[in-house]
């Protein structure tokens, strides 16, 4: 079976290729329609996907892979939940590190109200920061 890290790295690589192709087509549209001051910051409106695998944990037919991407002033982390399907994996859930507590699960002496103290928010839920 493909190791979880190798599976997710293949996914991230293919996703980055699609983003690069889209950016090639998007850049001239931004130049055409953006005026000042936005025209000075068109790079900030292109798709970015430079995620790197940070951590992998596997237990039987499930695995979790945590990735990190650096954006301007902060690292953004995602946690991919994988389940084994045949000789490969499928992504069944993606969490984002909580922006309120920055993944600590705490706000002062209290549990974080946004993530319930877990440090992660399910990306499929609405109103996720």
**Structure tokens that stand for 46 in this block:** 């292109």
Specify which residues 67 forms β-bridges with: 53, 78
Which pLDDT value is given to residue 78? Answer: 94
Position 47 scores a pLDDT of 81
Per residue of the chain (129 residues), give pLDDT as tens. 899 999 999 999 999 999 999 999 999 999 999 998 888 888 888 887 788 999 999 999 999 999 998 877 778 899 999 999 999 999 999 999 998 998 999 999 999 999 999 999 988 765 444
Q: Which listed CATH number (3.10.450, 3.30.1330, 3.10.590, 3.30.1370) goes with 4-96? A: 3.10.450
Contact predicate 39/28, CB 8 Å = no
- Report the alpha-carbon distance of residue 29 to residue 2 in Å, rounded: 40
- What are the extents of the domains in the chain? 4-96, 98-129
pTM (2 decimals)?
0.81
Q: Which of 20, 11, 12, 10 is CA-nearest to residue 47? A: 20
pLDDT for 129 equals 43
Distance CA 124, CA 129 (A): 12
Output the pLDDT for position 49: 72
Total Cβ atoms within 10 A of residue 72: 5
First vs last Cα of the chain: how many Å apart?
35
């Amino acid at each position: 079976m493909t190791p979880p890290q190798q599976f997710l790295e293949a996914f991230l690589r293919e996703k980055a290729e699609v983003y690069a192709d889209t950016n090639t087509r998007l850049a001239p549209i931004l130049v055409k329609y953006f005026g000042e001051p936005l025209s000075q910051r068109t790079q900030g409106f292109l798709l970015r996907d430079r995620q790197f695998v940070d951590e992998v944990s596997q237990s039987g037919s499930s695995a979790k892979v945590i990735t990190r991407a650096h954006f301007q002033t902060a690292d953004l982390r995602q946690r991919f939940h994988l389940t084994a399907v045949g000789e490969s994996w499928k992504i069944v859930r993606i969490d984002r590190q909580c922006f309120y507590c920055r993944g600590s699960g705490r706000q002062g002496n209290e549990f974080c109200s946004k993530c319930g103290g877990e440090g992660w928010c399910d990306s499929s839920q609405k109103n996720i920061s």
